[in-house]
Each structure stands twice: as structure tokens, then as C-alpha cells.
């Protein structure tokens, strides 16, 4: 069992957990993810790595309650654990392979949306530790669901927070902040990394293309094994089919077919939603109203 050492729900429906996993902590780099499985009956859930600590041998994960398994996971506390916890999966971020001297010449812009703030954090932290500057834009629907603000402040060169409803800091979408920084504040960037909801990444890419700013996105499609075996996570990038788990999860955002990726993400939505309802309301959706598809 992989023990949970720390667990909290800083905002409604988003959980942060620190999990004991020595081997993963030792080989982990920014950009990678893990798969967790709560128990025998649980699903294999790909999750973002928010932080890792080689000395303590721990991995910090962040997840939003989306379906039956994540709901059950959110009920776990300190001392509980995951039956299975595997990783690190995927390719590390491209910059981790570049010489630090080259990196120091570059200006990075990170754009994080919602839970996407979690995978952005270890990347910015890694750059900070290597003496590389990075500006960070964090977007959230509203003030109450903003996560990791203090942590991000410590590692970002400049942090720009924006909320859709204007309840905190700037008001508006992350794309407006990008435009503002480049056009009105005279900022120049060499690389943009955008991680968040698919729709946000799509619009960030449309905008950065206008500024000819190379942009990397991190995709989180449906997957089963996470090692390349199932092919569920296939995405079209530059007209070619790639597997997000072995070729990604980070890709050139200007080449990703977002519309197809968004459709594929809907694949099990109803199925997962049904399982979630079963968990919350008991086995009430098997009666067969004939409409919800719960009867199988």
C-alpha cells in the first residue's frame, strides 16, 4: 500500500495529497504524471504530479472530483493509502533536457488554468532551482477555487492572477492577460507552457500563434494502463497519431487537434457520471428509466 501522509481539500472538490512512493520520487521530473488505483475495484486514474520530494520519498498529487473513483479517493485521509500507485509516466518536460546555460537565456511564460496550476508548479519550481526566470499567469473561475497561490508566489518571477468574475486580482480570461503582457507591458517571451482545461489550452494556442510564440501544452486524455498498451490516449498532433502516455503528455500546442481531443474526452463521461451517482445515491440508476442509460 502507498500511504497518504498529508491530505487536504483547500477548495471545494479539489484535493491535495502527499503520498509515500520512494521509487517514483527518486526518478520523477517535471512534466510527468502518475496513475493511482484506490483498491481492487477502483479505476486506474492518471493524475498530475504537483510536487515531489526525493529526500522524503513522497509525491504530492492534486485532483478534482470528477467521477466515482475520484470521489472515493477524496474520502481517504492520513494513514489510508492507495493499493496501486505507479509512475512516473510520460516524458519529462523538454526543458529538463536542455543545458541550463541555454535555458537562462530564455524567457518562459506559464499559463495555468484551474487544476492545471498543479502540474505547472513543479515546472516553475525546477526552473527557479536552476536559476531560470519564469512568469506565471494563473486563471480561475472565481477567488474561492484558486489553489497553490502562496507556493507559486515563491517560485514565479512575476505572478499574474486573473478570475473570470473579477472576484480577485485581474478580471477576465488568461488569454487577455497574455495579450496585455505582450502588447501593453512590453514583455517578450521565448516559450509558453499552457496547462489547464482543453478549451483554455486551445484558445491560448490560437492567441500565441498570433504572436508566433512557441507553445507547449500538456494533455490529459482518457487512458487505461499509461504505458502505451491500450491506445485510448491517442491524439492527433501535426496530422500524426500520438499516444499521450508515451509520446507526451506535452506536445507542441500549435499542432494539437484540440477539437478531436475534446470529443474523445467525452467518451466515458456518462459512464463515469453514472458510477458517481451510484456511489452517492446508492444503486438507484439500474431501475431503467430508459433515458439515463443507467440500465445495462
Partner 1 sequence: MDVNVKVPVREQDPKERAKNFEEVCYGYNKEEAMQESERCLNCKNARCIKGCPVSINIPAFIQEVKAGNFEEASRIISESSSLPAVCGRVCPQESQCEGQCIRGIKGEPVSIGKLERFVADWARENNIKPEGAKEKNGKKVAVIGSGPAGLTCAGDLAKLGYEVTIFEALHKAGGVLVYGIPEFRLPKEKVVSKEIENVISLGVKIETNVIVGRTIKVDELLDEFDAVFIGSGAGLPKFMGIEGENANGVYSANEYLTRSNLMRAFDESYDTPINPGKKVAVVGGGNVAMDAARTALRLGAEVTIVYRRSEEELPARAEEVHHAKEEGIKFNLLTNPVKILVDEKGWVKGMTCVKMELGEPDESGRRKPVKVEGSEFDLEVDTVIMSLGTSPNPLISSTTEGLDINKWKCIVADEEFGQTSKEGVYAGGDAVTGAATVILAMGAGKAAAKGIDEYCKKK
Question: Which residues are near partner 1 by CB under 8 A?
Answer: 23-24, 27, 37, 40-44, 67-69, 72, 83-89, 224-225, 227-232, 234-236, 241, 243, 246, 260, 263-264, 266-268, 271-272, 275, 296
255 vs 271 by CB, closer to partner 1: 271
Task: Find the shortest distance in angstroms from Cβ 54 to partner 1.
Answer: 14
88 vs 113 by CB, closer to partner 1: 88
Please give the Cα distance from 278 to 282 (Å, whole number): 5
Please write down the long-range contacts of 173-179, taking CB distance under 8 Å and 24 or more positions apart: 173/139, 173/200, 173/203, 174/111, 174/113, 174/137, 174/139, 174/200, 174/204, 175/203, 175/204, 175/207, 177/137, 177/139, 178/109, 178/111, 178/137, 178/204, 178/207, 178/208, 178/211, 179/207
96 vs 236 by CB, closer to partner 1: 236
88 vs 116 by CB, closer to partner 1: 88
- The cell numbers describing 40, all together, are 481492487
Task: Find the shortest distance in angstroms from Cβ 294 to partner 1.
Answer: 12
Q: Is 119 helix (H, G, I), strand (E, B) or coil?
A: helix
214 vs 228 by CB, closer to partner 1: 228
Interaxial angle between packed helices 258-265 and 198-210, expressed in degrees from 0 to 180 and rounded to the nearest 10 = 170
Please give the Cα distance from 284 to 41 (Å, whole number): 19
Are 261 and 237 in contact, with CB atoms under 8 Å apart?
A: no
Q: Is 222 helix (H, G, I), strand (E, B) or coil?
A: coil
Task: Find the shortest distance in angstroms from Cβ 150 to partner 1.
Answer: 31
CA angle 101, 107, 110 (to 5 degrees): 120
Are 204 and 253 in contact, with CB atoms under 8 Å apart?
A: yes
Task: Find the shortest distance in angstroms from Cβ 133 to partner 1.
Answer: 30
252 vs 257 by CB, closer to partner 1: 257
- The cell numbers describing 23, all together, are 521509487
Task: Find the shortest distance in angstroms from Cβ 145 to partner 1.
Answer: 26
172 vs 273 by CB, closer to partner 1: 273
Q: Please name the residue that has the C-alpha cell 531560470.
A: 132
Task: Find the shortest distance in angstroms from Cβ 240 to partner 1.
Answer: 10
Are 103 and 75 in contact, with CB atoms under 8 Å apart?
A: no
Task: Find the shortest distance in angstroms from Cβ 183 to partner 1.
Answer: 36
Task: Find the shortest distance in angstroms from Cβ 86 to partner 1.
Answer: 4
85 vs 160 by CB, closer to partner 1: 85
Amino acid at each position: 500500500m502507498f500511504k497518504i501522509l498529508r491530505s487536504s481539500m483547500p477548495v471545494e472538490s479539489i484535493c491535495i495529497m502527499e503520498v509515500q512512493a520512494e521509487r517514483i520520487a527518486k526518478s520523477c521530473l517535471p512534466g510527468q504524471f502518475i496513475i493511482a488505483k484506490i483498491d481492487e475495484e477502483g479505476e486506474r486514474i492518471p493524475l498530475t504530479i504537483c510536487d515531489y520530494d526525493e529526500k522524503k520519498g513522497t509525491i504530492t498529487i492534486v485532483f478534482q472530483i470528477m467521477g466515482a473513483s475520484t470521489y472515493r479517493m477524496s474520502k481517504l485521509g492520513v494513514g489510508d493509502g492507495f493499493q496501486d500507485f505507479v509512475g512516473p509516466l510520460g516524458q519529462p518536460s523538454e526543458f529538463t533536457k536542455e543545458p541550463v546555460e541555454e535555458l537562462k537565456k530564455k524567457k518562459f511564460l506559464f499559463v495555468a488554468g484551474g487544476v492545471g496550476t498543479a502540474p505547472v508548479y513543479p515546472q516553475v519550481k525546477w526552473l527557479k532551482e536552476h536559476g531560470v526566470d519564469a512568469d506565471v499567469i494563473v486563471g480561475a473561475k472565481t477567488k474561492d477555487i484558486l489553489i497553490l497561490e502562496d507556493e507559486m508566489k515563491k517560485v514565479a518571477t512575476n505572478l499574474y492572477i486573473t478570475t473570470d468574475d473579477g472576484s480577485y486580482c485581474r478580471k477576465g480570461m488568461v488569454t487577455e492577460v497574455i495579450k496585455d503582457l505582450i502588447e501593453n507591458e512590453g514583455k517578450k517571451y521565448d516559450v509558453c507552457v499552457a496547462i489547464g482545461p482543453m478549451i483554455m489550452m486551445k484558445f491560448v494556442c490560437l492567441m500565441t500563434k498570433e504572436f508566433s510564440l512557441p507553445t507547449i501544452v500538456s494533455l490529459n486524455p482518457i487512458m487505461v494502463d499509461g504505458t502505451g498498451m491500450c491506445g485510448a490516449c491517442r491524439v492527433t498532433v501535426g496530422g500524426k497519431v500520438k499516444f499521450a502516455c508515451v509520446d507526451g503528455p506535452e506536445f507542441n500546442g500549435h499542432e494539437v487537434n484540440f477539437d478531436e481531443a475534446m470529443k474523445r474526452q467525452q467518451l466515458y463521461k456518462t459512464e463515469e457520471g453514472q458510477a458517481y451517482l451510484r456511489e452517492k445515491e446508492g444503486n438507484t440508476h439500474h431501475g431503467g428509466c430508459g433515458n439515463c442509460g443507467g440500465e445495462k
